[in-house]
Structure formats: C-alpha cells, structure tokens
Amino acid sequence: MRLSVVRHGQTAWNAELRAQGHADIPLDAIGIDQAHCLAESMRGLPTVEVVASDLARAAETARIVAEALGSPLRLDPALRERSFGDWEGLTFEDLFQRSSQDQVRLGLDAFHVRPPGGESFADVWDRLGAIVEQLFSAEGDRLVVGHGGANALMLARLLKGSLETSRAFRFGNASLSELQRRPDGLFQLVRYNDTSHLTLAGALSGGIDGASR
C-alpha cells in the first residue's frame, strides 16, 4: 500500500501568517495554481481513493487533484486542522505569545494548551486515531489532502512516533509526501514535502510553514 499525503494550497491567511484552524478560508489565486500544478504532475497515475478534510482549502485542492486522476473523492471532518477557537485569525506571533502565557499559567506543555473554544495538539492526536486506523488498515492506495499540523500528527502516528516527534514534520503548501507499507506492516517515508512540481511551474509561495495550517 502506498499513501500519498498532500497539504492544501495557499490561502490568504497562509500568506498573512494567520492561524486558520477550522475557519473556512478558501484557496487564493496562488493556491489554485498550486493545486493545478500538483494535479498535472500526478495526471496519468493509477486511480486511487482521495480522502480530504472538509474545510474549503483542503476540499478545493482535493477536487482539482481527484479530477485529474479520475478518482472518487470523499470528505471527512476528522481530517480537519486543529481548531484554534477564539485564537483563529490571530497572527502566529500573537498566537504563540498567548500559548506561551497559558503554558506558564496552567503548567502545561505546548501539546496540551487548549485555546478558548478550541483544541490542543493532544486533542487532535486523539481525534486522528480512529480515522488513521480506518483509512490505512484496509488494502489499496490512497491520497489524503489535509493540513500542516494535522498531517504532521498523522505521519507521526503512521510512523509509530509521538506528539513530540510530530514537530519534526513541516509541509509547504501543495506539497506531496508518500509512505509505503512494508511487508512487516509498518510504514516507511519514501517522499517528504516534495514541491518540485511548484518550482518548475513558478507557483512556489513564500517557503515552508508547518504551523500556518
């Protein structure tokens, strides 16, 4: 089994370095171009099941890719990004300041800080557990379109890592990563954060930001 993991294309809030979370921000013009570049790079590959977060930025990216592949598309809210609750729309400078203050005030580590009305990283780790088991226990190749933070947690789960090891993963917009299931049933990372399809097409945006969701 081969699993392809895509981060959605760019949005205006990505460009402004704002926390999106569950805010339903669509792709901007660059993000749409990025999704089409990714789709063209995959056109002609075997049809796979495409599963995506139901938030607009991931769903739009997935629809463009699924159309190029001739693949069925299923949206699943379990693949959503971490909800930042009342902090959504804040710049990351402001968000990190508030998160750090709550860590000190509540005596928590960064993975267990929960914004007002939102989720902690530990909450998302638990939320992803069921969907990861459902998607990847069955046979057949799949392509998942999600978000920077949620994808990092998902890869850490699939590679038998932890909340702490999820910090190692950072994804550019419309990047492609791939995992291959080995004969022993474990996954191996065979492609990571590949954005070469964007570089060649001139659609690469301002760098990698695994926290911009």
What CA–CA distance (Å, rounded) separates 64 from 164? 33
Answer yes or no: are the C-beta atoms of 33 and 203 closer than 8 Å: yes
Answer yes or no: are the C-beta atoms of 116 and 85 closer than 8 Å: yes
Q: Specify the 3-state DSSP secondary structure of 186.
A: coil
User: In the structure, what pLDDT confidence band is assigned to residue 138 with cuts at 50, 70 and 90?
Assistant: confident
Residue 13's pLDDT is what?
A: 98
- Per cent of the chain over pLDDT 70 is 93
Bridge partners of 144, per DSSP, are 5, 51
DSSP 10: P
**CA 195 and chain centroid, separation:** 14
Task: Return binding residues for substrate.
Answer: 7-14, 57
**CA 184 and chain centroid, separation:** 26
pLDDT tens string 80-132:
999 999 999 999 999 889 888 888 777 778 899 899 999 999 999 999 999 99
Q: Catalytic residue among 22, 36, 81, 119, which?
A: 81
Residue 34's pLDDT is what?
A: 97
Domain 2-201 falls under CATH 3.40.50.1240: yes
Answer yes or no: are the C-beta atoms of 145 and 62 closer than 8 Å: yes
Structure tokens at 55: 């938030």
pLDDT tens string 6-57:
999 999 999 999 999 999 999 999 999 999 999 999 998 888 999 999 999 9
User: In the structure, what pLDDT confidence band is assigned to residue 207 with cuts at 50, 70 and 90?
Assistant: very low
Domain parsing of the chain, residue ranges? 2-201
DSSP 9: P
Active site (annotated) includes residue 36: no
For residue 161, pLDDT over 50 is answered with yes
CA 95 to each of CA 165, 185, 209, 211: distance values in angstroms, whole numbers, following the listed order = 22, 39, 15, 11
**How many CB atoms neighbour CB 106 within 10 A?**
10
How large is the average pLDDT for residues 148-173? 96
Task: Return binding residues.
Answer: 7-14, 57
Active site (annotated) includes residue 81: yes
The pTM score is 0.92
